[in-house]
Amino acid sequence: MVEIVVTGMGIVSALGVGTDATLRGLQSGKTSVGRIKYLQTRHVDLPVGEVPCSDSELRRLIEVSDDVKLTRTGLLGRVALKEAIVSSGIENSRPERVAFVSGTTVGGMEKSEQYYRDFLNNNNHNEYIALHDCGACTETIAGQYRGNFAMMTTISTACSSAANAVILGARMIRTGECDAAVVGGTECLSKFHLNGFNTLMILDNEVCRPFDKSRKGLNLGEGAAYLVLETLESANRRGVKPLCRLSGYGNACDAFHQTASSPNGDGAFLAMNAALQDAGLRPSDIDYVNAHGTGTPNNDESESHAMMRIFGDSVPPMSSTKAYTGHTTSAAGAIESVISVLALRNNFIPGNLNFEQKIEGVSFAPQKENLADVQLHHVLTNSFGFGGNDSSCIFSRLEGNGWQVKNDVGGSGIYIQSIKQISMQKPLCEDWFAHPIYSTTPYNESLDPDFKSYIPPMTARRMGRLLKRAIVTSEEAVKDLGGESLDGIITGTGLGCIENTEKFLNAMIDNDEECLQPTFFMQSTHNTVSSQIALHFHCHGYNITYSHRGTSFDSSMYDAYLQMKSGALHHILVGGHDEMTPDYFKLLGKVGYWKHGNCGADVLKKHDTQGSLSGSCSLSMLLSDKRTPETLCRISGMKMLYAPSDEQLSVCLKSMLENGHIPLSDIDAIVMNYSGDKDNDDVSHHVYERLFAPIPVMWYKHLFGESFCSSAFGVYVGAVALSRGMVPTNLLYEGGSPIDHLRNIIVFNHFHNQDYSLVLLSC
């Protein structure tokens, strides 16, 4: 029986730095949304919730010199993380296994938009190129506490990112994958997002009025927050008094529109209902709802109808706190979780600022004024993102009051039913197994199928190529579902639709933030891929996107593994989708990602120079808890680690094999992530000699190229080899005769010797 408690919190927002400043700001009943001070934009008339500190002041708060390259998103994250770590005491009495899960969408965009033309045309600011993606942001935030974390990943589901980080951390604790998790999110203001939301015409030029009849839109904000979750047993062992319990959580997909919510709030209803069921609570047990409440006409009406469906005529006191902080997008779920815990512990309900009149057709009104000295036992907080990604969490007092501990029910087997790919090989087939296409050039495009056979032309013309590839591979993979219902879509993407991101960024720079079109912005958010797949299949189930550099796919597969291990889900579509553009290829080339000239397999095997050959990646994998005649193989185990020592990696491998009841002597092949890059391959060779020699080695990046999701092809080649019972010569790193009679394969991956994954596949 696993009880999850909160033992520490850290927060920074427009209300100030720290939990004390946040509580004082809320109790003052005054907004912190105002004129732009730090962001350099022409739209100074739009009110925002800026953190009241310059970058230099933030650096002084965490004692970081200018020599350490950090984006503002990273700085905000470090400030909040420091308070969470200190308040929980985990530095002094650290649980053995601590995970770090952070949510962000902006990542390093604030620096990229400032230096983008420099990136392309000179070498003045190359140090920020590698800090653009979301995963890099998480890595830099964790930099001050590298030794504290055993595993790390990044979630990017737009405005529900941080809430989903809370959910993953709790899932890892429940399934025994870690003892504690530091979870939350961070987001700074950027011209890219300010202009993007402005093109959608959902920004208010006054301070927002959530749930008011006259509401016109939202105010963007920035900030960061993290919570320390751990088992009650771990807290007791460390002698730490918990702040509260995390008693339940739920995620669902509205599957209605790329940005808008459904009129009846289907996704919001499903997320709240799932959280209540998870906590073993009735709607009447909830004492306060911290609503998503953005102030947009669509969101507030949709969320209101969802609450009416949940609570009937007895909607508890509820309010949105976004008029205090602005909408902090990816950080909102964590910032408002901290606010919910502060309300719970201080018997206080913050008022819904600027409310005057109810929305027509809505039966209740928000709590207008601050309410003190009110007994709160259970607080529900909502976070809803683009693409209908809806998440709810419930925080409860340590006393019982009807709350019950929920056990995760053990799942059955985890099987790979089908995998479909679009890459530099022939698409949607496995011709590469016997007749591969070899590239010798650094830059490589995917070989696309005829999209018109899958997507109506009028729909396809509004989609970027990555979205088309993702939908086609997903549709092909789901054909093997056999009439069952798909109940989860989990996607990995390091860059998302980078082509559309570049188009919006270029237009914003060229047009001086004027006359911009919304389509490219809407498709620039990382979870666009996962939400479009959900829309395509009308799937309202679990929906998460991971964006953690070279382990983006590994993270999505790991989440699916945990879901099925616990018996929570039964049929999950797992994807790895990334594209490469000429401009981004040029940028990554400046920081050593690609080789120059001939990139043939023989050159890659030498691994005596920096860089590899690039590839675009779109791969969809159907996982099921039942074996069928079409099953490719079984996932017998999976582990993820952050910056492990040799000994930690060895212990992890041993644990995975023991849990799978498979001795190392029964492993027939190792799929390694050799890419031709000297630094990457030196690490991989060391790991191979330390753990796996002399087991035969398979490789795959000479056929599929390198991308942030290329590790998906490592699992792919392992699964296909097991299903066919042999490894052809073209997949053997040292060549030689084909291997047959396969039973078990281990797939190994690492990114920059920091993020590691191990996957155990069995026939």
Which listed residue (53, 188, 244, 292) is catalytic?
A: 292
- Of residues 610, 617, 635, the one with CA closest to residue 625: 635
- Of residues 703, 541, 550, the one with CA closest to residue 623: 541
| DSSP reduced 3-state for 26 | helix
| DSSP reduced 3-state for 757 | strand
Distance of alpha carbon 702 from alpha carbon 712, whole angstroms: 14
Q: Do 371 and 147 contact (CB within 8 A), yes or no? A: no
- pLDDT attached to residue 405: 46
For the chain, list residues with pLDDT below 70: 1, 400-411
Which listed residue (132, 305, 327, 570) is catalytic?
A: 327
Distance of alpha carbon 450 from alpha carbon 433, whole angstroms: 22
Token pair, residue 344, equals 């719970």
- Of residues 284, 298, 303, 288, the one with CA closest to residue 349: 288
Q: To which CATH superfamily is domain 4-396 assigned?
A: Thiolase/Chalcone synthase (3.40.47.10)
- Rounded-to-10 torsion of CA 704, 707, 712, 716: 0
Per the annotation, the verdict on 607 as an active-site residue is: no
pTM above 0.75, yes or no: yes
Per the annotation, the verdict on 741 as an active-site residue is: no
427 φψ region: left (φ > 0), alpha (ψ -120 to 50), beta (else) = beta
- pLDDT attached to residue 403: 41
Helix axes 72-88, 109-121, angle to 10 degrees: 140
Residue 5 belongs to what H/E stretch?
strand 4-13
- pLDDT attached to residue 656: 98
Which listed residue (53, 134, 159, 208) is catalytic?
A: 159
- pLDDT attached to residue 459: 86
Token pair, residue 680, equals 């990457």
Distance of alpha carbon 353 from alpha carbon 326, whole angstroms: 12
- pLDDT attached to residue 401: 44
Distance of alpha carbon 405 from alpha carbon 248, whole angstroms: 9
Q: Do 246 and 395 contact (CB within 8 A), yes or no? A: yes
Token pair, residue 348, equals 């206080």
4-396 and 415-762 have identical folds:
yes
pLDDT per residue as tens digits for the range 120-174:
999 999 999 999 999 999 999 998 887 889 999 999 999 999 999 999 999 999 9
Beta strands in 104-203 (DSSP E): 151-155, 180-187
Residue 720 belongs to what H/E stretch?
helix 711-724
- Alpha helices for 69-160 (secondary structure H): 72-88, 109-121, 134-142
263: phi then psi, degrees, rounded to nearest 5: -55, -35
500 φψ region: left (φ > 0), alpha (ψ -120 to 50), beta (else) = alpha
pLDDT per residue as tens digits for the range 75-109:
999 999 999 999 999 988 888 899 999 999 999 99
* Type of residue found at 195: N
- pLDDT attached to residue 93: 84
**Domain boundaries along the sequence of the chain:** 4-396, 415-762
How distant is the alpha carbon of residue 223 from its chain centre? 17
- Kindly report the CATH number that applies to the domain delimited by 415-762: 3.40.47.10
Per the annotation, the verdict on 526 as an active-site residue is: no
